[in-house]
Amino acid sequence: MIYRREEENNYPKAIAISTGIMGTLLLISFFIGIGNFDPVDTGMGGMVVNYGTSVTGMGTDYTSIEEPSADPNANNQPPDKVVLEKPTVQQPVSQSSDKEILTQNSEDAVSLNTKKTKSNNTPTAKAEDKPSTPAVNQNALYKGKTNKGTGGGDGTGTTPGNQGSVNGDPLANNYGEGGSGFGETPIALRKFTNLVTPQDDGQKTGKIAVRIKINKEGIVIDATPGVKGTTLSDKELWQKCKNAVMGARLTQSDSAPDVQIGVVVFNFKVK
C-alpha cells in the first residue's frame, strides 16, 4: 500500500514574513532619511556697506546704517509723542410733534367738542459716549529687532549722520572733494614690484581692502585688513591679504613723505 504525504501550503507564511521584512526596511530607511535631512539654505548673511548720504556727519563707525533709534537720548532729542484725538459725538436734534389747533373767532362758527389731546412728545434719547478706539501700532504687532542704540555715524562734522556721497570713492581716506597742484609724490604713482596674490579656495566672491603704510624706500611698515570697502568677512583671507602686502615692496621715491597711507583692494571670484 502506497501512502501519499500531503504537502503543506507555506505560501501565506512566506508572504507574511516578506511583508514584515519589507516594512521594517522601509521604517529604517525613513528614520535614516530624517536623521540626514539637510536644512533649507537660508543664506549666509552679509556685511553692511555704508554709503554716505549726508553732506555732514559725525562719528567713527563707518559700518553704521541709517535706522531710527528707540533710545530716548538718541541725538539728544526725545522721540515725538503721539496724542490720540477723541472723536466728536453729534447730539440728535429733538423735534416737537405737537399739532397746532386752528380756531376761528367769528360768531357763526360751529361749536366743536374739544378733547384733551395727549402729548406726543417723545423723550430725547441721550447719546451714550463711546470709548475712543486707540490707534493700532503696527510696530507693536510686527516687532522687529530691538533697537536701543543711542545713534552712530561716520564723518568729521558736528551733525549726526553718515558723511559722504554715493558718487564718491568708497575706499577714500578722507571726506574732501579732492584737490589739484604740485608737491609730494602721491601714493597712486608708486607701484608694487613683487606683490603676491593670496590663494583661496575659489568659493567666495567679494573684496578685501587693506590699509597700508609705506616709507620712502617702498617698504610696507604696517597693514590693516578689513577697512572700508571690504565685503568678505573671512578672517583667514584677511590674514592672507595682510601677509601678502607685508611681504611686498613698492617703488622708491625720494620726494615722497616719510610715511604714506594707501589702500590695496584684493578681488576674489568664484572659480
Residues near 148 by Cβ (< 8 Å), separated by ≥ 6?
A: 69, 70, 71
Give the pLDDT confidence of 169-224 residue by residue, as tens digits: 554 555 545 443 334 456 777 888 888 888 888 788 899 999 999 998 999 999 99
Q: What's the grid cell of residue 238?
A: 584677511
Give the pLDDT confidence of 74-116 residue by residue, as tens digits: 556 666 666 667 777 676 655 544 444 444 444 444 444 545 5
pLDDT band, residue 69 (cuts 50/70/90): low
Would the pLDDT of 129 be above 70?
A: no
For residue 23, the surrounding DSSP H or E stretch is helix 11-35
pLDDT of residue 76: 60
Instruction: Kindly report the CATH class assigned to 184-271.
Output: alpha beta
| 3-state SS class at 35 | helix
> Where along the chain do its domains lie?
47-65+146-175, 184-271
pLDDT of residue 66: 58
Give the pLDDT confidence of 217-268 residue by residue, as tens digits: 999 999 999 999 999 999 999 999 999 999 888 998 888 888 999 998 989 8
pLDDT band, residue 132 (cuts 50/70/90): low
Q: In the predicted model, what is the mean pLDDT of residues 45-69?
A: 58
Q: How far apart are CA 85 and CA 91, in angstroms?
A: 19
pLDDT of residue 81: 64
Q: How far apart are CA 120 and CA 122, in angstroms?
A: 6
Residues near 151 by Cβ (< 8 Å), separated by ≥ 6?
A: 69, 71, 74, 75, 160
Q: How far apart are CA 71 and CA 69, in angstroms?
A: 6
Highest mean pLDDT, choosing among 8-12, 47-51, 160-164, 265-269? 265-269
| 3-state SS class at 34 | helix
pLDDT band, residue 120 (cuts 50/70/90): low
